[in-house]
Structure 1
Amino acid sequence: MTLFRTVLQPVALVTAVLLSLAGPARAQHAGYRTLTIAGDAPTTVALFYPTAVADRVVPMGPWLPVVAPGAPVSDAKLKGLILISHGTGGTELNHHDLGTRLARDGYLVAAVRHAGDNWKDRSLVTSGRYFSERPLQISRVLDALLASPEWGPRIPTERIGAVGHSAGGYSVLALVGAQADAQRSARHCRTVQDDPGYCSLAKGSAVTEATGVQAAPAASAPPPDARPVSVPDRRIRAVVAMAPMAVVFTPESLAAVTVPVRVIVAEQDVVLNSRYHGGYVVASLARTQASTVAGAGHFAFMAQPTFPLPSAAGDAAANPVGFDRVAFLPELANQVAGFFADQWH
């Protein structure tokens, strides 16, 4: 497939972002802070939350989030807590536009930078603990927020959800009971020919900043657990999985998932063939909401970067010919916000 390199100068992208926010004056804006969760591998978290302080475009590397840094949280009761998990090699800002939208709707949003699987550090990939540790990091963030004197009393514990893209999609599905069998990846890539994006990365290729697919452990990595990995967190009541990496899940465990799940896949995903990943999840779950984004590539669910982000899976800033990511992202945010609102109306 031919991809074109998105050429959006920062000024033009700022204009597009501001136009997407145009309309009646908003009662709530998006506050922004960062939080570090202590541990053997400290975890950085971006917090987006409702505030009365006007937000603005604040450039952060390749990203242009519209936030009010350090602003006080609104006095209004939080609608809930949404945890966001990025794809492998990514950052806590990969989905900043979704985070700010949910914050303006009244949610506290915690976007995790996965320790050992981010643009600075990929050590978790070859640790032999990838399938268990990645979702457990999200649970630890949840632990910290619920224990926080500031946030804990504000969070309605019956309204905790999670959103994940690619390897993040794997992570949030694992949290609602899907079990990973590491041997499924090897068997899959020995027997299929039409999932080359996933399988080329699964051979141990280097995966760098902002990529969206988990690479299987390299040959030199410690052997993975021979039993399926089970790390459910019953506090999470609903999830959205966007182009999830899912071939490693056992069908029996997917069929046993009982929480509401929304799966969104990309029509032109050349990194993860939906037949074996997102489509496999939809076919295996007892009940789900599912949709396919016409013309979209694997990275369509990430905020649009202001400059190219090359990776082993392709340029995370590029889009298939004819697909307008900037125009699509507000609609994606509407779908995600609507899904959670429907669960907790």
Structure 2
Amino acid sequence: MRFVLTVLLWFSLCLSATVSQAAGIKFAQIPADANGPALKVLVWTPCATAAQSMTIGPYVLQGRHNCPTVGTKLPLVVISHGHGGSLLNHHDLAETLADSGFVVAAIDHPGDTFSDMSRNAELSVFVERPTDIKRLIDYMLRAAPDAHRIDATKIGFFGFSRGGYTGLVLAGGNPDFLHADVPCPDQNIPLCKQLRRKEVPRGPLTHDPRIKAYILADPLDEFPTAKSLRDVKAPIQLWASQFGGDGVLPETMTALDEELPNKPDFHTVPDAAHFAFLAPCPAQLTKNAPTICVDAKGFDRVTFHKAFDQEALEFFETHLQ
């Protein structure tokens, strides 16, 4: 009987540390330092209060503003958006993870976000993006109000498009910009001129071994050979849209699957184009930005994201919890 009571007590304590009813939603800012400019941060945390609808920018989020965080030794997942995206682009995934006991943090990448496109067409952002995420992890583990609740041995990463590229660098990848199969849409933009003149970054990029598991959705593949990926050893769940877009070619996803040293958990999404991985758009955003919101006929983004978010949750639970 004593053994049964002990097991029941242990089980109840585990539940109290991880079960929640909503995502607590908090804004923060990482100050500028020698490694880069200030970073705008949005954090989702487990919360014991029922969710409410919250309108932030063009999106409607489900959560509670500044809800006290519940639980300890919580896993952390950091999110990197795509080209010209925002920290809100994958809010549905963040809510799903926070509802299940994860702390989730996303940033706007300076110079390559919807509100600051000043360097989105320069190679410099490809160098700075991984450093942005390292700074985010440093903040979440050291200075964030919930730092003491996070388990520093359980950190995951989600990245879309250029955010997927960011994840591959953090995991140990070394890009080869000159030989990558990435189209240059306009030879007059700075990035294409830099490539034509072979003015590519030569120094080492930021890797971060603290990250233990990665989910990459249509990553921009700047890694044309197995050699450029030989140090990528962490578990990866790789998602590819059927049609690609925004510089991502479908054939490079198959190549990436074959060249990674450890076989990823590879998923191809039929009838999907690149932007299907963004959270479903509200009506007004669909009207204002049809390019990123309107999918091919017959593709149901809402239904897809319910399955996608669940697959992502299960992957992170397997590797981080």
Superposition TM-score, scaled by structure 2 size: 0.85
Matching residue's letter, 2:92: D
Shift of 1:127: 4.5
In structure 2, do the counterparts of structure 1 residues 226 and 31 end up closer, same or farther at CA, with 3 Å as the change threshold?
A: closer
**Does structure 1 residue 37 correspond to structure 2 residue 27?**
no
What is the 5 A alignment of 1:54-65?
A: 54-65=50-61
Q: Which structure is higher in RCO with an 8 Å CA cutoff and minimum separation 6?
A: 1
Structure 2 match to 1:99? 94
d(CA) in 2 for partners of 1:342 and 1:252?
28
Shift of 1:256: 2.6
In structure 2, do the counterparts of structure 1 residues 293 and 248 end up closer, same or farther at CA, with 3 Å as the change threshold?
A: same
d(CA) in 2 for partners of 1:103 and 1:115?
25
> Which sections of structure 2, spanning at least 5 residues, go unmatched?
1-18
Matching residue's letter, 2:23: A
Percent of pairs identical after alignment?
29
Root mean square deviation, CA, Å: 2.3
Q: Deviations over 1:241-284 (max 9, x none)?
A: 001101345431313311111100111224321212x2222111
Structure 2 match to 1:67? 63
In structure 2, do the counterparts of structure 1 residues 177 and 220 end up closer, same or farther at CA, with 3 Å as the change threshold?
A: closer
In structure 2, do the counterparts of structure 1 residues 310 and 254 end up closer, same or farther at CA, with 3 Å as the change threshold?
A: farther
d(CA) in 2 for partners of 1:104 and 1:268?
32
Which of 286, 308, 312 is equivalent to 2:286? 308
**Does structure 1 residue 181 correspond to structure 2 residue 176?**
yes
**Does structure 1 residue 330 correspond to structure 2 residue 309?**
no
> Which sections of structure 1, spanning at least 5 residues, go unmatched?
1-25, 190-197, 206-215
Q: Deviations over 1:120-163 (max 9, x none)?
A: 11223345422210111010011111112632221111110100
Which of 66, 84, 88 is equivalent to 1:89? 84
Structure 2 match to 1:118? 113
d(CA) in 2 for partners of 1:301 and 1:27?
26
Which of 267, 270, 285 is equivalent to 2:242? 267
d(CA) in 2 for partners of 1:224 and 1:142?
30
d(CA) in 2 for partners of 1:88 and 1:149?
26
Matching residue's letter, 2:215: V
d(CA) in 2 for partners of 1:156 and 1:61?
31
In structure 2, do the counterparts of structure 1 residues 204 and 118 end up closer, same or farther at CA, with 3 Å as the change threshold?
A: farther
Q: Deviations over 1:273-326 (max 9, x none)?
A: 1212x2222111122110101111111111112223777xx7001101100001
What is the 5 A alignment of 1:163-312?
A: 163-185=158-180, 188=181, 198-200=183-185, 203=187, 217-219=191-193, 224-227=199-202, 229-248=204-223, 250-271=225-246, 272-276=248-252, 278-287=253-262, 288-306=264-282, 307-308=285-286
d(CA) in 2 for partners of 1:154 and 1:235?
17
Superposition TM-score, scaled by structure 1 size: 0.79
Instruction: Give the secondary structure class of the aligned counterpart of 1:172.
Output: helix
Residues paired across the two proteins, number: 295
d(CA) in 1 for partners of 2:81 and 2:75?
20
**Does structure 1 residue 28 correspond to structure 2 residue 13?**
no
Instruction: Give the secondary structure class of the aligned counterpart of 1:291.
Output: strand
- Tell me if the contact between 2:80 and 2:107 (Cα under 8 Å) persists in the aligned partners: yes
In structure 2, do the counterparts of structure 1 residues 203 and 104 end up closer, same or farther at CA, with 3 Å as the change threshold?
A: farther
In structure 2, do the counterparts of structure 1 residues 85 and 204 end up closer, same or farther at CA, with 3 Å as the change threshold?
A: farther
In structure 2, do the counterparts of structure 1 residues 238 and 220 end up closer, same or farther at CA, with 3 Å as the change threshold?
A: closer
Which of 275, 280, 297 is equivalent to 1:321? 297
d(CA) in 2 for partners of 1:99 and 1:224?
37
In structure 2, do the counterparts of structure 1 residues 128 and 324 end up closer, same or farther at CA, with 3 Å as the change threshold?
A: closer
In structure 2, do the counterparts of structure 1 residues 174 and 305 end up closer, same or farther at CA, with 3 Å as the change threshold?
A: same
d(CA) in 2 for partners of 1:339 and 1:228?
33
What is the 5 A alignment of 1:127-146?
A: 127-146=122-141
d(CA) in 1 for partners of 2:217 and 2:251?
14
d(CA) in 2 for partners of 1:297 and 1:275?
13
